[in-house]
Amino acid sequence: MSYEISTENAPAAIGPYVQGVDLGSMVMTSGQIPVDPKTGNVPEDIAAQTRQSLANVKAILEKAGLGVANIVKTTVFVKDLNDFGTVNATYEEFFKQHNAPFPARSCVEVARLPKDVKIEIEAIAVRK
Ligand SMILES: CC(=[NH2+])C(=O)[O-]
């Protein structure tokens, strides 16, 4: 049995999916594009987009009572792998800021992302 996670602190789904699902021992988020849930805006540069996508992931986990330290795996989709260095630096800063260990991760370049953003990040977290 899984339970939908729904929060106003992350962008509403823009298609037939939910923000996240809570399986009890595990939580999975949908891919988070860098839409600010309060304004609907997307920041311009890749560092700010990375921060916003991660903030959206965090908000979904928090609604389920979990935090950044519960993340065990992420998948990072980028529009341009030339941004790899900036994405890594921003991503590293986020996990350090939250005193969380780095999870396992996959990072891939994709042809296009919804709303033509530069990055989308999804996460799997475990309830310890
Ligand atoms: C943005 C997203 N997660 C989707 O599936 O369109």
pLDDT in tens, 13-46: 999 999 999 999 999 999 999 999 999 999 999 9
**Confidence at residue 105, expressed as pLDDT on a 0 to 100 scale:** 98
Cα(33)–Cα(82) distance, integer angstroms: 18
Taking 90 as the threshold, does the pLDDT of residue 87 lie above it? Answer: yes
Cα(115)–Cα(35) distance, integer angstroms: 9
- Is ipTM strictly over 0.85? yes
Q: How many residues does the chain have?
A: 128
Place 99 in a pLDDT band, splitting at 50, 70 and 90. very high
Q: Please work out whether the CB of residue 56 comes within 6 Å of at least one atom of ligand 1.
A: no
Cα(83)–Cα(62) distance, integer angstroms: 28
Taking 80 as the threshold, does the pLDDT of residue 1 lie above it? Answer: no
CA separation (Å) from 80 to 25, 46, 89, 123, 128?
34, 10, 15, 20, 35
Mean pLDDT of 68-82: 98
**Confidence at residue 128, expressed as pLDDT on a 0 to 100 scale:** 86
Q: Please work out whether the CB of residue 70 comes within 6 Å of at least one atom of ligand 1.
A: no
The strand pair at 104-109 and 71-78 is best described as parallel
Taking 90 as the threshold, does the pLDDT of residue 114 lie above it? Answer: yes
Q: Please work out whether the CB of residue 15 comes within 6 Å of at least one atom of ligand 1.
A: yes
**Confidence at residue 2, expressed as pLDDT on a 0 to 100 scale:** 80
Cα(52)–Cα(46) distance, integer angstroms: 10
Kindly name the residue from 18, 48, 107, 124 that is annotated as catalytic: 107
Cα(43)–Cα(11) distance, integer angstroms: 14
Mean predicted lDDT score pLDDT of the chain: 98
pTM metric for this prediction: 0.98
107 annotated active-site: yes
Burial of 10 (0-12, 13-18, 19+ CB in 10 A): buried
Residue 72 Cα to chain centre, angstroms: 13
* Domain layout of the chain by residue ranges: 3-126
Q: Please work out whether the CB of residue 33 comes within 6 Å of at least one atom of ligand 1.
A: yes
As a CATH number, domain 3-126 is 3.30.1330.40
30 CA closest ligand 1 atom index: 3
Place 84 in a pLDDT band, splitting at 50, 70 and 90. very high
